[in-house]
Amino acid sequence: MLKFELSSLINSPIETVWQFHERSDILQLLTPPWQPVQIIRREGGLDVGAISEFRLLLGPIPIRWIARHIECNKPYLFVDKQTEGPMQSWLHRHQFQAENGRTRLTDSIEYELPGGTIVEFLLGWWVDSRLKEMFRYRHQVTKEYCE
């Protein structure tokens, strides 16, 4: 199992940062423009049972990715889990922690690549670099909208 985590301090109260993530257009805002991703649907907000569906392009091959929210503790945490997609497994924790009127935003992901340990050894560094790039973008957008 591979792990990724990125944490940023947002100069806004926790309620503001949470409300930003509740926006109906949040997936459009947080998807980096250079990524070959099409947002198909988002239903249920941040609540347990909410669904997000994407179409990823891996070269010319379209891949369907569906994530379902399995936990929600407003305004501190929501968790999504891949139910269909390119990973063997994927669990993403979105954490919000108040710090002296500001918010510590932390994205933590535990995932497995299809193909097991050998594939993770060969490609894990590449997936980690793509996640780092994407979540730096997401945290920067969150800062711009919330501060």
* pLDDT score, position 44: 94
* Chain position carrying tokens 């918010």: 103
Reported as a single tens digit per residue, the pLDDT across 7-62 is: 999 999 999 999 999 999 999 999 999 988 899 999 999 999 999 999 998 778 89
Reported as a single tens digit per residue, the pLDDT across 102-133 is: 999 999 999 998 888 877 777 788 889 899 99
Paired strand residues for 52: 42, 67
Instruction: Round the CA-based radius of gyration of the chain to a whole number and report it.
Output: 15
The amino acid present at 52, given as its one-letter code, is S
Q: Architecture of 2-33+74-146 per CATH? A: 2-Layer Sandwich (3.30)
* pLDDT score, position 52: 96
Total residues belonging to the chain:
147
* pLDDT score, position 33: 92
* pLDDT score, position 51: 97
DSSP 7-43: EEEESS-HHHHHHHHH-TTHHHHHS-TTS-EEEEEEE
* pLDDT score, position 60: 85
